[in-house]
Structure 1
Amino acid sequence: MSLKGKTLFITGGSRGIGLAIAVRAARDGANVAIAAKTADPHPKLPGTIYSAAEEIERAGGKALPILCDLRDEAQLAAAVEQTASTFGGIDILVNNASAISLTGTLATDMKKYDLMNGINARGTYMAGRHCIPHLKRASNPHILTLSPPLDMRTKWFAPHVAYSMAKYGMSLCTLGWAEEFRRDGIAVNSLWPRTAIATAAIKMVGGDAAMKASRTPEIMADAAHIMLCKPSREFSGNFCIDDIVLHEAGVRDFSSYAAVPGTPESQLAPDFFLPDDLPRVG
């Protein structure tokens, strides 16, 4: 199980889950392109494409920081081609970039709607469209999208319909592409956390209380690593949950992933969009 020599194109990735996935791959000796729009330090958000590249290099990988607004097709297309020409191809696309606003319809203006759907649903589709020609030439190609299992219950839509549409738009790409590109041997899967994950986005939405009830991004990175090492022709079209992936790989103790050490599993906050019949693990 190694990603040594593989090339990953990760949207977002200057911080949080995307960066954790990048660093985990780098520990294997992977090449990682970080395509994100944070070039200068943000007063409220940690990390830039350049600080991410430094972490990737320190972990043992090769990094390519690319300034890219995922909503701009010309920028995205250029970023994909720069990655392919630098590393000789692309093996893995990680659709990590996402925008969130947990607001109702009357509180969500069209600027917010366009931002979320432009980055989440449209950005995922566009990244796939430009990366897939390269993935078709790879030996074990994967697309991994950080999006939830498809669940059409009204409780996931009524409180924040615009955000839900944007996230499920990402999941619909997984559903469609897994079948569309099955003959090409491209694995297309989604990964979603059981609990809140301690990222800048969670802190912005839920404050310190949410951070204390979260797991670290490393649980998503470790689960993603397992998925990306699987044979692409044998593992596609799945909507996976982080700790279930790890449990199936033999992990039984998840306490090391608590953002606050010693936090009982019962005190961790569940994420959105989880099925009611999700099995417990650990």
Structure 2
Amino acid sequence: MFEARFEEDGSVAAPRLTPPSADGHKYDRGHAFILSGPRHRTGAARLAAMACLRVGAGLVTLVGEAAALDEHAAQVAAIMLREDDGVCAFIDDRTGALAMGPGLGAGERTRAKVLDWLDKGFPAVLDADALTSFAGDPDTLFAALRDDVVLTPHAGEFARLFPDIAMDDRKSAVCVAAERSGAVVLLKGAQTHIADPTGRHAVNRHASPWLATAGAGDVLTGMIAGLLSQHLLAFDAAAVAAWLHGDAGMRGGAGLVADDLPGLIVGTLQDLSGDIAE
């Protein structure tokens, strides 16, 4: 449904969007699972889940402890909820992607859960506490990564995972980080740099300074998960999500908060597909 496009200088261009097949099924667009934070820390995962659904994942399920799911149940309708029993057998071969990090809390429990979910072998996106939990021991994380995993650090999280890589030249920094980690790395900033382990690089310049607001990164995480669920390669999913996220931020402008972004994504997608909102 989405096709990533790039300018000659490596800048991310507006993606191409075509409608899903008329005889398609929701599972054709993937089932994304997003790991929720605990009670009173559920908002970040909910933002990610809404964005994941908006960009076209066929189904989205939030996974968490019972008290967290009670909070989610009061806020969402189209998003499904499953209690984390420690086994998660419901993450089956129809799964499109996994997302971990927003609101989880940094620590040993998150480390263990991230490694467990990565071991299931599905495309994944890691952000926030899923990255910070490996500060001081990044090699343990890197050993579990693959080229269908996307890491989405901001500058502080990047420094915790790659303390010896200077960020004066962000293109060079993200390329070295991707090669070392074995995953796609998306380094957030005014210009978002993306690289894969082979050295491929792109930069998204289509964005707004109003995106520097709490929760905006959680929305980006969900968007990447939604695109991975639709079978985009990890590098392309990261690039397309960065462009869509930036466009939604430009539409929101002054006064933007992260809660606005999933709704703003709709206008972007309708313009790209030629649909007109009623």
**TM-score of the aligned structures, taking structure 1 as reference length:** 0.46
Q: Which structure is richer in relative contact order (CA contacts within 8 A, separation 6 or more)?
A: 2
Greater share of strand residues, 1 or 2?
2
TM-score by length of 2: 0.46
